[in-house]
Amino acid sequence: MGQGAYRPRSAKVSKFPTALDKNTGEIIPLKDLRDKFFAAANSASPKAALRTLRETFHLACPHCQSADLVFSFGSQNPDGTINAIAGSNIAGNPAHLKTKAGETHGKNCIGVVIPQESHAIDAQKGFRIHLNLKNIPERHPRTNQLITRDSGGKIVILDPDLKDRAPWECSKPEKILPLMKSGQIERLNKSVVIYGGRKIPWGEFFIPSINAEIENPNLTRFALSFFADSATGKAFGHPLMIDFSFARASYSNHQDEKGLARYYSFPKSAEIYIPALGCNIKIQPQLRVENQHLLDQMDRLHRTHGEILLVAQRPFIYKRDDKTNTYILAMTLTDPDMMVVSNPNNIMATANKKRASPPSAQSQPTQPHP
């Protein structure tokens, strides 16, 4: 019996590999917190140093962003070994982030609906970004189903590739911004977006602003996957998050029995070769805003900000006419929650700054953004 040091065979997995610091809006990896807290604990006046450190951060759940978290040393030593639970030879918990006593997570928060002991996270792999958790199928197994819920409402991962990816909840587009700004650029590029039964690579999901006649690799990847799908009869594409820059947009209004709708047209893409069609095409994004209420909100947003990120759930590509090789990428705005005001250049600048500055630099990839 005693306090022998153990390395557990499979360390208990923290369901919070990162925390949101509400003071700065930054996402902080557990590893960085662990380094700071151990440094404070080993300093000349550990009590004061730890108190100062705890006051520096306002840690919260990175998923729902409502419940506060606290850092716990668990039974871990600075050298990484884990002490046994007193009076036993069972290894204790490694250092981790836990929900602060009395705090409640948001409804459907991924930090609580995914069982803690479920899966070890591979920090080299990209995230799995759950778009709209409400749409997760209940138990009706079918081929290729990626995730389901058990009878208690917890998420069960069925797809082996998803199991060791760190989860990120994105019920609204704005929830993805902290991740985009976190400086984990290479990991984000390797991430996948989960929507119903679809697993969408990040590079096909997020399409930065389209400038006329300029190659946009993300749009090319989306178009290729769209036409590959349409060849198998699935005409609608997967959800897209697209950056609409209104500086070069034109629009037309359409009044019908349902009221006023507006169609915004954005610059055409460069030519994209589509093997399924056997020719080059150009793609022109078009956004339909389907009623006066949405139009008012959108008008206000883009007049003030110039750019909007928007998630379109069912984008569709169709040929504009028989004379040109232009195809319309048609998207509809149906819900104001699908819009978020943001400027991708600012997001990229914040991400690059975070990536370049220690201490995250040691634990984060440093490959340039394509």
Identity of the residue, 179 or 333, whose beta carbon is nearer to Zn ion in the bound complex:
179
User: Strand, coil or helix: what is 317?
Assistant: strand
Q: Which stretch binds Zn ion (CB under 5 A): 110-118, 210-218, 254-262, 352-360?
A: 110-118
Contact 177, 347 (CB under 8 A): yes
Of 104 and 367, the one with the shorter C-beta distance to Zn ion is 104
Smallest CA-to-CA distance from 173 within 118, 127, 129 is with: 129
Of 61 and 242, CB closest to Zn ion: 61
Nearer residue to Zn ion within complex by CB, 111 or 173? 111
Nearer to Zn ion, 99 or 360 (CB): 99
316-319/96-99 β-pairing:
unpaired
Any contact of residue 61 with Zn ion (CB under 5 A)? Answer: yes
Least Å distance, CB 269 to Zn ion, is 39
Please state whether the peptide bond connecting residue 359 to the residue before it is cis, i.e. omega within 30 degrees of 0: yes
At CA 348, angle to CA 344 and CA 354, rounded to 5?
Answer: 145
64 binds Zn ion (CB under 5 A): yes
User: What's the CA gap between 165 and 192, in Å, rounded?
Assistant: 9
Q: What residues contact 366, with CB distance under 8 A and at least 6 apart?
A: 186, 355
Return the residue of 27, 82, 109, 333 that touches Zn ion, per CB under 5 A: 109
Say whether residue 111 binds Zn ion (CB under 5 A).
Answer: yes
For residue 104, the minimal CB distance to Zn ion (Å) is 9
Q: Tell which one of 15, 34, 96, 105 touches Zn ion (CB under 5 A).
A: 105
Please report the beta strands in 140-226, taking only residues with DSSP state E, as ranges in sequence order.
147-149, 155-157, 167-170, 192-195, 198-201, 206-207
Measured from the CB atom, the residue of 109 and 136 that comes closer to Zn ion is 109
Structure tokens at 208: 């930065």
Region near Zn ion per CB under 5 A, out of 24-32, 103-111, 239-247, 348-356: 103-111
Q: Minimum Å distance from CB 300 to Zn ion?
A: 31
Distances (CA, A) of 264 to 48, 320, 327: 58, 15, 15
Contact segment (CB under 5 A) with Zn ion among 53-61, 187-195, 245-253, 276-284 equals: 53-61
Segment interacting with Zn ion, rule: CB under 5 A, options 64-72, 120-128, 245-253, 273-281: 64-72
Q: Which one of residues 34, 36, 63, 181 is an interface residue with Zn ion (CB under 5 A)?
A: 63
d(CA 168, CA 202): 13
By rule CB under 5 A, what string of x and - marks binding of each residue 145-184 to Zn ion? ----------------------------------------
Q: How far apart are CA 322 and CA 289, in angstroms?
A: 26
From CA 218, how far away is CA 283, in angstroms rounded?
A: 12
82 binds Zn ion (CB under 5 A): no
Residues in contact with Zn ion, total (CB under 5 A)?
A: 7
φ, ψ of residue 122 in degrees (nearest 5)? -95, 110
Residues that bind Zn ion (CB under 5 A): 61, 63-64, 67, 105, 109, 111
